[in-house]
Amino acid sequence: MRPSKEVAAAILTLTFATLVLSYLYIGNKSKATAHNHRPQGPPTNFAIALKTGNETLNRAKVQLDTFLKGFNHLVVISDAPNVLQGHVVHDVYTGLYNTTKPGRRDDEDDVKPGSGLDDNTPGWFVHTSPKTSLPVLKKYQLDVLIGFRQRDAHKFLPGLRLLYKTYPDMPWYLMIDDDAFVFMHSLSEYVKLFSHTKPYYIGNMNVFVGCDGVTEFGQGPAFAHGGSGILVSNAAMKKVLDGVDGCIVKYRDCFFGDVRVALCMRDVGVKGLPGSGFFGVA
């Protein structure tokens, strides 16, 4: 039995209305989904020190145009003053020891001229093999670390000092090189595992010999590799600030700046978090 014309018309009208409503619902849902995936602004719980050099300044432009774009809590540190894409480049190297020595501890030993980063001092460091995850010993002669490589070691501690003094109330502090790329929102999720009110010193941890009288691997404190980024909580930065001037002078003859940071952390009672930290996560 066929439906009447009135019933058929009603069915057709209902079907059409259903199709229209479905189209509108799917369209609005797609718009909502697109809205939810709008790019997020930079996290607000970090202050970042971008470490560069006078010879490598152009590399930092890439970071300022990408993941650091729009980032408000940022200092750019170098070994010469400059301006880069509207950011003041702070010289934390020139005259460092003349300005730091008045604040040194009275019991610090004098640093003899010529010690440390001269042209003939051999040194050793260890890095982690990406294939085996085991420490690999590597020897170098400091005469190959010319120019900015020699100056770079002196930027770490004063760079952290400047970062904290500029942004004393930030939960987390990150120091990165000008060839590093960080997924900041992934890092923001990572730090939720920790409380910034407790002293944390986090990074891709390595061991060393050759600084501070360390002659065996593991004898000294583990250090967060500077090339992978150094992450420090507010509580740890407060501790470092109390002793940083003494550390700058005391460890000026250590051949790598990231090792100097670890030695200073040890001196103020902050231990590095074992493992690779946020390396490979962010």
Express each pLDDT in 243-270 by its tens digit. 999 999 999 999 899 999 999 999 999 9
What is the pLDDT at residue 122? 41
3-class state of residue 230 by DSSP: strand
Residue whose token pair is 């930079």? 42
Share of the chain above pLDDT 90, in %: 56
Q: Domain 46-267: which CATH class?
A: alpha beta
What is the pLDDT at residue 3? 57
**Between helices 257-267 and 156-166, what is the axis angle to 10°?**
60
pLDDT bracket for residue 109 (50, 70, 90): very low
Amino acid at position 53, single letter: G
Contact 156, 257 (CB under 8 A): yes
Contact 192, 207 (CB under 8 A): no
Helix H, strand E, coil C: the string for 15-27 is HHHHHHHHHHHHH
Taking 90 as the threshold, does the pLDDT of residue 34 lie above it?
A: no
pTM of the entire predicted model: 0.73
Contact 82, 68 (CB under 8 A): no
Of 82-96, 104-118, 125-139, give the lowest mean pLDDT range: 104-118
Structural domain boundaries in the chain:
1-38, 46-267
